[in-house]
Structure 1
Amino acid sequence: METTHRFVATNGIRLHVAEQGQGYPVIFCHGFPHGSHIWDRQLAAVAAAGYRAVAPDLRGYGRTEAPGGVEHTTNEAVIGDLLGLLDDIGAPKAVFVGLDFGAQLVWELTLRAPERVDAVFVLNNPYAPRPPKAPSEFWTRAAERHFLHLAYFQTPGVADAELAARPREFLTRVYYSLSGDYHYLDTWKNPPGLGYLDVLPEAPELPWPWLSVEEFDTLATEFERTGFTGGLDWYRALDRNWELTADLPTTVEVPAYFLYGENDPDMEGFSGRDPLATLRAHVPDLRAVTMVPGAGHLVQLERTDAVNAFLLDHLRELDAHLTRT
């Protein structure tokens, strides 16, 4: 089954989407530094099972327009893009799948527009309610003690230039460091004041057991063309996202399924002391929690069969209850 590519006019931008299959829509939302291609293996599996699998390049990435700046890169803005995508395909509702920033996005989507969501499947980034302080208040203190990418990414132009100068080296190093083959939090052993490439480990030569040369070339070529500013703006919008969620509900009411890698750094270092307890307390219709042994952050690449089975098994459970046109 071939992947088709097209553009959707939505929310004032042109959104590039990759699609496979026909039927009920399942929409995949990527993180940083990724793009729609990060979901190619899942698109094929979900489409073959009889669904319409859709992966957009989210705002600021790939072939989607990048208006730029914090106000144009908030979750609220990108959710507007996704709702326009649903309207374009004539779908009253969809299932949404998210990883990394895409996970934060679909969690917030369930709070802003639950009427458009039949269920969410989230990888590695558990839901937690809005914290009492802006995110920068936490990472600024931590970055005084050790290198922290969240703080390093905040100054426009600095990380943008470093990463754009050596895009393939950066991507291999960061993908490897986030995988289950490395302990990402070892980057915290470095002092503040360094660049990201100063703290990331050397990566083994490709191919890796879970990433081919061809797949990496597809991902890297996009960033060689676009640079990284569109993705870095998502980090710069974190405080603004916090401001914009003050009046939203704190409980996710739609059905939710959660999968995480045993060695995922977000679960270990960025999601609180007991992320699963927090998740269960604030997602009352949490229907599955699955741990994938040995996997890290890029779990859909590292353990493709496990992730595809997770998606398809639970989509089949949901099937009779999905909202179709």
Structure 2
Amino acid sequence: MLETSGIRMHVTERGQGYPVIFCHGFPHTGFIWHHQVEALAGAGFRAIAPDLRGYGRTEAPADPEAYTNEAVIGDLLALLDDIGAEQAVFVGLDFGAQLVWELSLRAPERVAAVMVLNNPFAPRPPRPPSDFWTKAAQRHFLHLSYFQEPGVADVELAARTREFLGRVYYSLSGAYHYLDTWKNPPGLGYLDVLPEAPEMPWTWLTQAEFDTLVEDFERTGFTGGLNWYRNLDRNWELTAAYAGAKVEVPAFFLYGEHDPDMEGFSGRDPLATMRAHVPDLRTVIEVPGAGHLVQLENPQAVNDFLLTCLAGLGLGTATVSNRG
């Protein structure tokens, strides 16, 4: 447990060497990186997977406005200070991907490189995100819109935590086409549109792994994570200074062949857009058959990607001081 920028943060840490910090999304905790944490620690890196603000055993502020990217980036920078590192490599997925892309704009001097799964960089849009999802949500169910009203999704998902997590993880995997949820009309709940999940264990998720994730959310509920969605417009407002900015740090990208974010949430040609705005994009890899949770669905492919990219960076020992 670390004291960061005003909150207590729980981190999982393994190994010694250059720091690599893993940032998760919704509805996850730092545990979803456990395959990568062990692999990188075994290869001589200091692998750190925090439960981000509002998740797991990290504090969840009551104020919904406390969940902006700017605030969570403050947590990550405080984490770097706490471990005494001038820089780290940051790995992100889902909201964690958006977080590390923005971190590379706000504090590039603290970022040795970014390694992103499934969520490519895109420039700041000309209008707030809600302008886009509000129109879409008038035609069909869209979780981005459904999650906005405080207390609605919070109650639905917390009442059926185990069922929801099973359904949403399965729907986001390569075994299902997540955008089929868009075939449902507006006005429904999330559990009304998600498919039934197969019984555990799955080929890529054991019963014990699933139980670990369920137990965290049964304790905390989902409000902390949902508050990240409720700040999408505020994040847009807070990044006006970065309109048109390019990511200048070394970047590496991997995505699942069947990832729904690549298909439905990242524009018509997400790879071309990313290449145009990330001039030091060094690697782009597609993982056949995988979906959104690629680091669980095919951990070997993700571990190989991370270790190969880290080797190519030629990183030495991090600048670290002993802090009591």
Q: Secondary structure at the match of 1:247?
A: helix
Query: Normalised by the size of structure 2, how large is the TM-score?
Result: 0.97
Q: Secondary structure at the match of 1:72?
A: helix
1:30 is matched with which residue: 24, 36, 43? 24
Corresponding residue number in structure 2 for 1:189: 183
Query: Normalised by the size of structure 1, how large is the TM-score?
Result: 0.97
In 1, the alpha carbon distance for the partners of 2:286 and 2:315 equals 26
Aligned residue type for 2:287: V
Matched, 1:87 2:81: yes
Q: Secondary structure at the match of 2:77?
A: helix
Aligned residue type for 1:231: G
Corresponding residue number in structure 2 for 1:124: 118
- Report matched runs for 1:61-72 at 5 Å: 61-72=55-66
Corresponding residue number in structure 2 for 1:295: 290
1:245/1:322 Cα in 2 relative to 1: closer, same or farther (>3 Å)? Answer: farther
Aligned residue type for 2:23: C
Aligned residue type for 1:128: A
**TM-fit CA distance, 1:317:** 1.0
Corresponding residue number in structure 1 for 2:136: 142
In 2, the alpha carbon distance for the partners of 1:14 and 1:115 equals 25
Corresponding residue number in structure 1 for 2:240: 246
Aligned residue type for 2:61: P
Matched, 1:171 2:165: yes
Corresponding residue number in structure 1 for 2:106: 112
Matched, 1:312 2:307: yes
In 2, the alpha carbon distance for the partners of 1:224 and 1:105 equals 25
In 2, the alpha carbon distance for the partners of 1:35 and 1:237 equals 19
Q: Secondary structure at the match of 1:71?
A: helix
Cα deviation per residue 1:237-285 (whole Å; 9 max; x = unaligned)? Answer: 1000000000126200000000000000000000000000000000000
**TM-fit CA distance, 1:322:** 7.0
| Preserved CA contact (<8 Å) 1:60 1:68 | no
Corresponding residue number in structure 2 for 1:206: 200
Aligned residue type for 2:134: T
| Preserved CA contact (<8 Å) 1:149 1:196 | yes
| Preserved CA contact (<8 Å) 2:122 2:277 | yes
Unaligned runs of 5+ in 1: 1-6
The alignment of Structure 1 onto Structure 2 pairs a total of residues equal to: 319
**TM-fit CA distance, 1:320:** 3.8
Corresponding residue number in structure 2 for 1:4: none
Moved over 4 A (4+): none
| Preserved CA contact (<8 Å) 1:118 1:322 | no
Corresponding residue number in structure 1 for 2:54: 60
Matched, 1:77 2:71: yes
In 2, the alpha carbon distance for the partners of 1:96 and 1:163 equals 30
What CA RMSD, in Å, does the superposition of the two structures yield over aligned residues? 0.9
In 1, the alpha carbon distance for the partners of 2:315 and 2:242 equals 30
Corresponding residue number in structure 1 for 2:258: 263
Corresponding residue number in structure 1 for 2:228: 234
Aligned residue type for 2:247: V
Unaligned runs of 5+ in 2: none
**TM-fit CA distance, 1:319:** 2.4
- Identical-residue share of aligned pairs (%): 76
